[in-house]
Structure 1
Amino acid sequence: MGSALSRLALALKTVLETVAEYREVQKRIDQSPGIPVPGPTTPYWTIPLASISGWGTDKEGLPEYADVVVIGSGITGAAVARTLVLDGAESLSVVMLEARDVCSGATARNGGHITPNLFHDYQELKETHGQEAAQQIIRFRLAHYDELLKISTEEELLEDSQCRPVDTFDLHLEQATYDAAKANLDAYLRDLPDQQDRWSLVQNVEDLQLSPDIVVGAIATKAGAIHPYRFVTGILSRLLQSDNFELFTNTPCTSITTDSTYYLVETPKGFIRAKHIVHATNAWTSHLLPGMRGKIVPIRGHMSASRPGTGLGAVPISETASIDTLAPPSNWTGQRSFVVYGQGTYNYITQQPPASAPTASYPPTSGELMFGGGLASGDLFAEVGNADDHEPASIGVSAYLGGAPSTYFGAQWGEEGRPTNVEKLDPEVSAGRVLKVWTGILGISADKQPWVGRLPNKITRRKAPSKDGGEWIAAGYSGEGMVHAWLSGKSVAQMILGADASVPKPFLVTEKRWKAANIINAIPSESTTTSSGSRAT
């Protein structure tokens, strides 16, 4: 009897603790995320800082008026501003406001992947939105690599941004997830036969220098990788040469009101009158748009930079290599990326190029592994609704990020990579194998799709002061910003300019969609992170 009562008491305690955790999560979701906190953890991507990092901080006054105020200086804001400046009239004025240093949010904290989820969630997209819309979303995601490569070339940023094609591999740690992935891929290719040549199965994971004791199977394709911070700061640096673009960092927007003619954008430096406002703040969207609380929710994620094992990369490919997407046998360092599924995990790895020469602005890279994920090894409840990227990662997550890659590659991992000059640039960079661990805030969409377009008054809770002005949004990428954000931001700018914008219909903001979206359906769990996930942080 006593034993049964003890078990009952333990079960009751577990239920009550779960209920308490849920209530705490719901409380955070219902609250404003505030503005980005000062002094966030330093991402490895931002070492060293761009020359425009604190641009406009010391300016005391603000312009009295701007045709468009863009709030946020990440990849979305950069896409909006560049499109408006290049495609708009010469008289069009654009002001960008950033609460902290330039590009200090999720863009500078992500994994550097331009690797869209395609067959992974195609069936769900098809069931939810129909085949035509599902394929429109797939092609929108696929278009991002070519677009980012095109922009990098036009802006002469190829070297700094490291924008490049890579061989990418889905690695499966469990047979069940691998079998499910192969079934999803088959169904996907039946509907999109033109993509047949993009995909292949890896028959022998040892050809990828992976441990067959850990990795049960892999699926190969082509994707992209990029240095997101240098890409965005390079674009903004060039825009600052234009007479109709201004940037003010460490200048948060604290409120938005209206008068009879314009929006009034309030900052600690005063007001700006504006015709249009673009919300490019992703996880922080609902601070200025309370109507979006529960529709875009912050979740804190984790990233790391490590020296790779010296055994990786410079090895010949065996004569039995089973796929034709493998990089040349001389060296694959910096030419591959990986996404890891199974055992409750969703992890992702890109790699910076090996021993690249220094550019005019930045030191050389040394093949650093940029490894993110580890949510399953921490307290997921504590991360939902958490918009604080000042606090460091937990010891458990940090240890996981530091140790997991060596298990994937096994005997091929090799000795620790040698120190580089980067340690001399920042006292936070470790001289050990793990160079840096940092946190970043994802903006999770309640219905899993980005929110793009003009915001109805019912959502903004403000009446647009003029018929030809308004508030706009491109946000809620659910950790897949590098394959959603640029073209979403570009589309918003085109809409403001009155031009046609090719954005998937499920992304558009409507009152009907807004009312139906429920964050409970989108919060990841151990069971859902095995099939899809995010690469933002």
Structure 2
Amino acid sequence: MNQAPGYPHPTPSLPFWLQGTRSSSLLKHRTTETLPERSKITIIGSGFSGVATAYFLLTGPNPPESLTILEAREACDGATARNGGHCRPDCFRAYPEYKAAFGREQALKIIQNEMDTLELVTEIIKKEGVNCDFWRGFSYDVAMDQNVADSIAASYKEFVADGGPVSGIVESILDPDAAKEATRCRLAVAAFRIPGASLWPYKLVVHLLKLCIEKHGLNLQTNTPVRRVVLGADGGWQVETDRGSLHTEKVVYATNAFTATLLPEFIGRMWPYRGQCSAVVPTPAYSGAAMLTHTYGLGYGDMVDYLIQRPSDGIIIFGGGSRAVSRERLRGNTDDSSVYPEISQALKTALPRYFEGWGEEASGEGQIHVWTGIMAHTREGIPFVGEIHDRPGAFILAGHQGHGMARIMACAKGLAALIQGASWESTGLPECFRPSHERMSVPGQ
């Protein structure tokens, strides 16, 4: 992917999470009628990354005297509002890849960062009284073929051998019959139970966004795409939009898949990847007392489907199905205005095949809604967090690999501290997340 991704599509598809928001006071919201001329800190992007960073800046010590969020579309209308509602740490599975790329110490810190994120999400939701259908329990990593089972088992063995924590965190179910019984998945070869959570991502972000606007003076400007960011004449940065420009001392790129449009040095280092998700009304066999008790990652080949079942209404949010089309049609794709019928059909037919006793779907049951969202993939499979090399006062939190719910909260807290002058060591974040000279000097792809 060696070209800039452009800008978010002006007429995106409507995800399940946004169907009930047409009365929201944040639609077309602009805290001030005109763009402010100056802002101490400006954040580009109003998804989870941008809003969580603003929240920690404004509620932490020495909050900035002014903070502006600029959003190209509506508030929280990008990847955050289009994901699967899954907040599930990778407790060990990708450890060997991280270790091969960054070494044992960094690999362990990457895994710990995701555990820290789950704890922090739980803490903030409780502290701020966020009504976002938050549920916390356990998740199954289900291997649906022997190769996947062997791969996950090898990852687990290597993680344990290197001192990774698993006691009370990971439960292995290696007998196929036991795995089928525990997961209710007829294709299960093995399963690993890990901590997990589900939530309504848009409601979490909007709650924090309204809190920052109403109590802490945040200035939100929606439908204000940023076209260029250049050095200011008197230092700082000049942020140019379709509605004028503003001067800011510090700028934060919470732009995820669209980052390289404003920061060309990220071309080939971060690129868009289109995903697809669906909402499903289950049959009676998976309703009421028979609802699923865990969330799921369902692995086959080199693909993973994922699902949660919402405790409040029993609706299943089911995503993936990407093997139905070539990866060339997904990589670099920024069009979230439509869906691929092939993926819709793959998702529609998967649950009856995956789960024992799904049964016949009556009228009104089964798949009721499908939508797309644009993720940001990076070469190393990890995000960029911190001050950007050779751009003093410019910071980034982007590149979440479709895994942002399990990473963003802890990264945003650390980034807010860095913006306020804290040392990297004090944040506890993995050093490999930094957009350092060494990382940025490796040729893109």
**Structure 1 CA distance, aligned partners of 2:443 and 2:382?**
10
Q: Secondary structure at the match of 1:302?
A: strand
**Structure 2 CA distance, aligned partners of 1:58 and 1:229?**
19
State the shift of 1:449 in Å: 1.5
Aligned twin of 1:475: 398
2:20 matched to 1:48? yes
Aligned twin of 2:320: 373
Aligned twin of 2:156: 185
State the shift of 1:174 in Å: 0.9
**In structure 2, which of residues 84, 87, 99 is the aligned counterpart of residue 126 of structure 1?**
99
Stretches of structure 2 lacking an aligned partner (at least 5 in a row): none
Structure (1/2) with the larger strand percentage: 2
Q: Secondary structure at the match of 1:399?
A: helix
**In structure 1, which of residues 277, 296, 303 is the aligned counterpart of residue 251 of structure 2?**
277
**Structure 2 CA distance, aligned partners of 1:517 and 1:372?**
32
Pairwise mapping of residues 45-124 of structure 1 onto structure 2 (< 5 A)? 45-49=17-21, 51-57=24-30, 60-89=33-62, 92-124=65-97
Aligned twin of 1:438: 371
**In structure 1, which of residues 154, 157, 169 is the aligned counterpart of residue 127 of structure 2?**
154
State the shift of 1:52 in Å: 3.7
Q: Matched residues, percent identical?
A: 30
**Structure 2 CA distance, aligned partners of 1:283 and 1:126?**
25
Q: 1:149 to 1:183 in 2, by over 3 A?
A: same
**In structure 2, which of residues 407, 412, 419 is the aligned counterpart of residue 484 of structure 1?**
407
Pairwise mapping of residues 127-526 of structure 1 onto structure 2 (< 5 A)? 127-157=100-130, 160-192=131-163, 194-202=165-173, 203=175, 204-208=178-182, 210-212=184-186, 214-261=187-234, 262-312=236-286, 314=288, 330=289, 332-333=291-292, 335-353=293-311, 356=312, 366-390=313-337, 392-411=338-357, 413-416=358-361, 431=364, 433-457=366-390, 464=392, 470-499=393-422, 500-516=426-442, 518-519=444-445
Q: Secondary structure at the match of 2:286?
A: coil
Q: Secondary structure at the match of 2:68?
A: strand
State the shift of 1:267 in Å: 1.5
Letter in 1 for 2:359: G
| CA offsets 1:51-108 (integer angstroms, 9 cap, x no match) | 2432534954111110000000111011110011111435521000111111111111
State the shift of 1:141 in Å: 1.0
Q: 1:93 to 1:219 in 2, by over 3 A?
A: same
State the shift of 1:243 in Å: 4.6
Q: 1:247 to 1:280 in 2, by over 3 A?
A: same
Letter in 1 for 2:10: P
Q: Secondary structure at the match of 1:179?
A: helix
State the shift of 1:415 in Å: 4.6
Q: Secondary structure at the match of 2:39?
A: strand
Q: Secondary structure at the match of 1:198?
A: coil
* 8 A contact 1:71–1:277 mirrored in 2: yes
| CA offsets 1:205-246 (integer angstroms, 9 cap, x no match) | 34346243x222222222221211111011101111135311
Q: 1:167 to 1:91 in 2, by over 3 A?
A: closer
CA RMSD, aligned part only? 2.0
**Structure 1 CA distance, aligned partners of 2:362 and 2:203?**
24
* 8 A contact 2:118–2:406 mirrored in 1: yes
Aligned residues: 437
| CA offsets 1:143-200 (integer angstroms, 9 cap, x no match) | 111100111111101xx21222122111122112212212221221232364222222
| CA offsets 1:24-75 (integer angstroms, 9 cap, x no match) | xxxxx22221121111011101121172432534954111110000000111
**Structure 1 CA distance, aligned partners of 2:261 and 2:192?**
40
Q: Secondary structure at the match of 1:100?
A: coil
State the shift of 1:331 in Å: 5.1
Q: 1:415 to 1:167 in 2, by over 3 A?
A: farther
Normalised by the length of structure 2, the TM-score is 0.93
**Structure 2 CA distance, aligned partners of 1:492 and 1:201?**
35
State the shift of 1:478 in Å: 1.0
Q: 1:95 to 1:156 in 2, by over 3 A?
A: same
Q: 1:90 to 1:200 in 2, by over 3 A?
A: closer
Q: Secondary structure at the match of 2:136?
A: strand
Q: Secondary structure at the match of 1:388?
A: coil
Normalised by the length of structure 1, the TM-score is 0.78
Bigger-Rg structure (1/2): 1
